[in-house]
Structure 1
Amino acid sequence: MKTLFFSLILSIASFVAMAQNPIDGNWKGSRETPNGTFEVNYTFKVEGDKLTGTWKTQFGEAKIEEGKVEGKKISYSISFNDRKMSYTGELVSEKELVVKSERGEMKLAKQ
């Protein structure tokens, strides 16, 4: 009986450890600007309360910096072309994330 109980606890612990944060993964968004459509692709990785990953656009790529996760909310910054941009965001559903910056709001769809 003890062996069965231990095996059950170990199985549950393994399942919980492998559970992925819904923010993890690839996300894509776009926004219209005076210069045309601005497309962005993110790859997010959550480890505890830390957010890492990359930001890619038609202009280049940058790493996510100072990334934090608090429940469904995220914050991070990106340094690109000698400029630092700060973002906040919130997971709306498992397939939609909304990010905001000084340039406005963008909806991201999980890929």
Structure 2
Amino acid sequence: MKKTILSTVLFLMISAVTYAAGFDGTWLTKVKTPDGNEFELTYVFKTEGEKVTGSMKMPNGDLPVTNVKVDGKNISFEMAFGDQAMKYAGTLKDDDTIILKMIDSPMGDMEMTLKRQK
């Protein structure tokens, strides 16, 4: 019985790390502003053990993501823009696509499709 429980726990831990690693890499999306202009955003995620870190690349420097949580194929994190904290939640749809939503942002809830860059 103990071996079965230990095996199950180890399998779940390995599965969580495997899914987290699915977010590794550089991801690109295009965003439209309210005035119709379009610009690109680049997100980078890296898994080290069970910890996921990341940033959003900007022309004047990278913005770190914080409070990253991965649960299976779901990811959530926060980013600070000045004194404004923005929350994001996303789902890994396939190996090369994340559907990411900005939640409670000053620009309203916005959905973005991130594509893995190879």
What TM-score do you get using the length of structure 1 for normalisation? 0.73
The alignment status of 1:87 with 2:88, answered yes or no, reads: yes
Runs of at least 4 residues off by over 6 Å: none
Contact 1:49 1:69 in 2 (8 A): no
The alignment status of 1:22 with 2:35, answered yes or no, reads: no
1:53-92 matches, within 5 Å, as: 53-58=54-59, 60-92=61-93
Q: CA RMSD in A?
A: 2.2
Larger Rg: 1
Instruction: Identify which of 102, 107, 111 aligns with 2:113.
Output: 107
Give the aligned length: 94
**Residues 14-58 of structure 1, C-alpha deviations (whole Å, 9 max, x = no match):** xx8xx7822101000012112411321011012455321111235
Which position in structure 1 is the counterpart of 2:33? 33
Greater fraction strand: 1
Q: What is the CA-CA distance between 1:60 and the residue it aligns to?
A: 4.7
Give 5+ residue unaligned stretches, structure 2: 1-13, 104-108
Contact 1:96 1:109 in 2 (8 A): yes
Q: What is the CA-CA distance between 1:59 and the residue it aligns to?
A: 6.2
Instruction: Give, in whole Å, the separation in 2 of the partners of 1:94 and 1:74.
Output: 14
Instruction: Give, in whole Å, the separation in 2 of the partners of 1:105 and 1:58.
Output: 22
